[in-house]
Structure 1
């Protein structure tokens, strides 16, 4: 299996006990593994951000050449799937409960958020992904089971999962961009609520009556208040449907 695409397909197949038990021919020991690649990539992202992760940068961190990486992963998109799959492996899925399905689905989304925020910008890798990684599918399956247990119709549940995960990824990506900008002195005011409120109340009130009057509401919220609000809005909407 020298073709990396074939190896990728094999990675996404459920384990076969008979094949695992069969004796394998001895092979020359490789210097790196998929697990090492993922570990190192996450370390680079944690320290430098997702944008710093390139195949060349990763190869340098592993003290090897880019060609060695392509023996294990097909391309950057394949690496992204491996990274998101690793984060998904950390998520704990509850047993679906019709009585508490809203809290359960909110809890899974919060776990996703916390995993993404450990690695600045990594949620960008989850966007536009057509996942086949078994850990990603495990989480998708678990979320679908929770929504179905809550009485959500299958089509609605399928699209709701897509919308929820898209929001979580966008929320975390925005947090990463804010963090990056806050490290620049000339952009520090962006995170200064008092300064932002002053800017919202500065325009003529006759031209911007609602903005100037409700500047406090427009800039309100601590921690993940807005995240919790938006999730509740989306999930309550499902319940009403």
Structure 2
């Protein structure tokens, strides 16, 4: 007897760039950059890979487009009647949350510095640094430090969440295990680490991120 294979129906309507980017975001969220290929994307959209190349040139452009879409939807780089500190905090927190929800965004932002999305973020933060009175010769260092902190801490937090998920361990269990290990250290050699071990169990990553950001802002204001 001949075994009949199900026939996959191809999409009859033409695809839009937005549909392709949204499907790419879904694949990136579930499998990271490794999980995104033109073949898997074509299968998700029920089309052939050739139909995608009319909108997206290659995988790098696809990831950049997906990153741009996330940032444009979640991060408002326009300041509306806010102080420089409030604007920096709002943009930084929105970026942190975007990376938390979409862990691949942090790395995509780092290697797409020349793209308009990253330039808009740079411009927004740079204008706030000027408004804070940071001397001209220190502005590049100031904005670089700020961006490195936001992308570094946000990316690390997203990476930690991915690692916990990959090992099927909850955040609470992971932090509890670290705290237990720290408490077993030699008290003579590691007095500070032991002293903060209990805080490791209960700390709030998002709140800590904002505290660190405020440290940087206070330092910048003292430069004026």
Q: In which range does the TM-score fall when normalised by the shorter chain?
A: 0.7 to 0.9
> How many angstroms does 1:232 deviate by?
1.1
Distance of aligned partners of 1:182 and 1:38 in 2 relative to their CA distance in 1, 3 Å threshold:
same
1:124 aligns with 2:107: yes
After superposing the two structures, state which structure 1 stretch, 205-214 or 179-188, moved more: 179-188
Long gaps (5+) in structure 1: 1-28
2:133 is paired with a residue whose SS is coil
Alignment of 1:41-190 (within 5 A): 41-90=24-73, 91-92=75-76, 93-95=78-80, 100-133=83-116, 135-154=117-136, 156-184=138-166, 187-188=169-170
> How many residues are aligned here?
210
The aligned residue for residue 211 of structure 1 is 193
Cα offset for 1:136? 4.0
RMSD: 3.0
CA deviation after TM superposition for structure 1 residue 139, in Å: 3.4
Over residues 103-128 of structure 1, what are the superposed CA-to-partner deviations in whole Å (9 max), with x where a residue is unaligned?
Answer: 21111111112222222332221122
Instruction: Note the C-alpha offset of 1:184.
Output: 4.6
Q: Secondary structure at the match of 1:178?
A: helix
Rounded Cα–Cα distance in structure 2 between residues aligned with 1:121 and 1:34: 20
Gaps of 5+ in 2: 1-11
Distance 2:115 2:63 in 1: 12
Write the distance in 1 (CA, Å) between the matches of 2:184 and 2:196: 12
Superposition TM-score, scaled by structure 2 size: 0.76
TM-score (norm 1): 0.72
Secondary structure at the counterpart of residue 224 of structure 1 = helix
